[in-house]
Amino acid sequence: MPRLAGKNVFVTGSSRGIGKGCVLEMAKEGANVAINYHSHQSEAEMVANEARSFGVKAIVLGGDVSDRVRVEAMIAETADAFGSLDCFVSNAVYSDRQLMIEADLDGFRKTIDVGMWGAFYGVRGAALQMVKQGKGGSIVVVSSPHAVLAIPTAMAYNMAKAAIDHMARTAAVELAPHRIRVNIVHPGWIDTPGERKFFSEEQLEQGGKALPWKRLGRPDEVGKAVAFVSSDDAEYMTGGTLTVDGGVGLPWWSNRAEGAL
């Protein structure tokens, strides 16, 4: 029996990259999936078609996660389409890379609005829906080693990830009486389209070789972790952090390639 058979899932920021990996791995495990996009609708539709090839239902929802009203509407649309919301995955992000003293503050604020407030709106909205349903559920927050590593040129992103880690742990305590589990997944440096905003193909190849595991991670590897944490196999796990980072968190900094994160 697939781990998520009969479950209904909503993943934010899932037209590409890690979010896409989560959707497809959860669909393989039998979940009906709601795919969220902001600016990549055609790619979201392709992800939905690929998910349907596993025999599950899939819908596509456009919306900016920094808009609380739209986030709550997308959660309601998911529950209406599938009959319930059983699993929620907060994944959507935005990031610019600049030193703090040189940063465009509009981009800095957008990074916080999407990465922190967007995650909070999703977690809160999903929790409200699950409490109303009265049958528990699973919430997964896709965070990052940036939550604990002071990576230069990424202050806003670091701040947002540190905040949502603590948000998730606090939510785990508050939602335990409702049998709603809240967990965190920390991906490392993953080979996604978003990385091309900051690095060339050569830099990604060389940076991957400099990592302890000698390569970048893949979105499906993060997706497998998220699918596990969302499943009943992880029923005793709440407030925890599952790390899928190829060793980024290990003490290897003296050999780190410049710009590896």
**Amino acid at position 54, single letter:** F
Q: Which listed residue (94, 121, 157, 236) is catalytic?
A: 157
Separation of alpha carbons 89 and 219, rounded Å: 14
Residue-by-residue DSSP string for 17-51: HHHHHHHHHHHHTT-EEEEEESS-HHHHHHHHHHH
Separation of alpha carbons 147 and 149, rounded Å: 6
Neighbouring-strand partners of residue 184: 141, 241
Beta strands in the chain (DSSP E): 8-11, 32-37, 58-62, 87-90, 137-142, 180-187, 241-244
* Torsion over CA: 194, 199, 205, 208 (sign): negative
Closest by CA to 229, choosing from 25, 62, 67, 42, is 25
* Residue 37 annotated to the active site: no
CB 33 within 8 A of CB 81: no
Closest by CA to 35, choosing from 1, 68, 58, 65, is 58
Dihedral Cα 154, 155, 157, 159, nearest 10 deg: 160
CB 75 within 8 A of CB 50: no
Where in the sequence numbering do the catalytic residues fall?
Answer: 157
